[in-house]
Structure 1
Amino acid sequence: MKAKIIFIISVISLISCNKPKLEKTNVFYFNLYNNKDIEVESNIFTLERRKLNLFDSIIVFKKNEKVLSFKETFDKEGIYRYVLNKKTLTHSLKDSITLTTNYNVSYFPFVNKKATLINKVIYKLGENSYKIFHYSELQNNHRSFDSYYLENFGFICYYNFDTDKYVLCDSTNIKSLKIKEITSRLVKDKTFFARFTVAKLFPNYYGENNSSKRL
């Protein structure tokens, strides 16, 4: 009888250890900016990252309406998401390769068909260093944009060269993370932010024939 009780306790303990446990929830707030760096829509997205011991549960809200949820985790190789219940590498943190993901759901700009690592940068703010990864992402065959991920925290910005607008994380409930300072530096970085780097490749893009794209 004693051996049976010990066995049952062991099984319960094993199940408890393998069950994802809620640790904390980080919240990120995103605003929309136009081509003049003027905020045109506040809190366009809210992203909740619920830290679990096996993965992070991501919930995205648009104007307080839940529009997307998925599971995500990080390691030194890249960002992984659970696609059809399978852990899948969607964003490389090491190599400039294009990764194609057959999502069962998609939602712009968070979940997309393809992602290619372009480059990365490290910003030094006080005693802390922050690494940001720049990707070119493809939602479908005709809509591409640039996204930015902060190491260990996730998605913080997307920029659309066609419209010259961007969605930016300006605030969070993580008091130790100076997100406003980080993202402000990002959008002013002429050697890293796509607004400047792509403009060098297409200096006449926003000419007379493309003025409507700036709306």
Structure 2
Amino acid sequence: MKSILTVIAICTIVISCNKKNINTTKEAFNLYGRGNELLIKNYQTFEKNILKSYDSINVFYGDKQLFCYNEKENNVGIFRSCGLYFSQSHSFDTIAITNHNDKCIIPFFLSKKTQLVNEKEFNIKGVNYKIFHYSEQIDSHKSFDSYYLKDRGFICYYNFDTDKYIFSNEVPKLLKDYIISDRDFFARYTMAKLFPNYYRVKSKKNSLW
């Protein structure tokens, strides 16, 4: 808890010092179940403060602010900070990124290990959307998959253990439908091919994890 409060304090200081030049956007994520049914609308909300050299992101569960983190991107990959210093969290090639910092909050900071699985472009009404699919390892027994829209940010987190996912409701519906139904790209199907007899422990209805 102390580390979370420290991160929030740092983010607050950074934001307050730059508030005159901040462009703020909000992005809500809905929680979906095994049949793609909507379980909770606006399950999580990301409030992004776009600063000069990085974005400061506040994460809310309902109306409660949980924590914040900083993120930036270059041609190599994605970098995040759990305080004052940035570490690479995701690569745009197949290099695995290993993290030894245990003070970060999963899945929004650094997992223990992330690796690009594949990437794909979807054309929606003449617009191309490039999506990166990552495998993110929490520990030796738990992992999840994430989907990143190039030049925008993460739009989906999928947990194979529960067969639930959160998806940005700011993304075009057709793009969402294409991704979650793509049997060669969405982890629900690709993981099922690898583990056809996987046994799932019953999870809470209102939880991704």
Report TM bin, short chain. Answer: 0.7 to 0.9
Q: Deviations over 1:123-144 (max 9, x none)?
A: 1112211111111112233321
**2:143 paired residue number:** 144
Q: Deviations over 1:60-99 (max 9, x none)?
A: 1001111120110011100011244122111001234233
Query: Highest Rg: 1 or 2?
Result: 1
SS in 2 for 1:53: coil
**2:194 paired residue number:** 201
Q: Percent identity?
A: 39
Q: Is contact 1:84–1:103 with CA below 8 Å preserved after alignment?
A: no
Q: Tell me, which stretches of 5 or more residues in structure 2 are unaligned?
A: 1-16, 205-209
Partner letter of residue 145 of structure 2?
D
Partner letter of residue 31 of structure 1?
N
Q: Is 1:185 aligned to 2:175, yes or no?
A: no
Cα distance, 1:214 vs structure 2: 7.1
SS in 2 for 1:186: helix
Q: Tell me, which stretches of 5 or more residues in structure 1 are unaligned?
A: 1-18, 172-177
Q: Deviations over 1:16-37 (max 9, x none)?
A: xxx8563422211111111111
The equivalences for 1:42-191 within 5 A come to 42-102=41-101, 104-106=103-105, 108-111=106-109, 112-171=111-170, 178-191=171-184
SS in 2 for 1:152: coil
- Using the alignment, how far apart are the partners of 1:211 and 1:92 within structure 2? 30
TM-score by length of 1: 0.79
Aligned Cα RMSD in Å?
2.0
- Using the alignment, how far apart are the partners of 1:52 and 1:75 within structure 2? 15
TM-score by length of 2: 0.81
Q: Is contact 2:161–2:201 with CA below 8 Å preserved after alignment?
A: no
Cα 1:29–1:36, aligned 2, differ >3 Å: closer, same or farther? same
Cα 1:203–1:105, aligned 2, differ >3 Å: closer, same or farther? closer
- Return the structure number with greater strand share: 1
Cα 1:99–1:182, aligned 2, differ >3 Å: closer, same or farther? farther
Cα 1:75–1:213, aligned 2, differ >3 Å: closer, same or farther? same
What is the aligned length?
A: 186
**1:25 paired residue number:** 24
Cα distance, 1:113 vs structure 2: 2.8
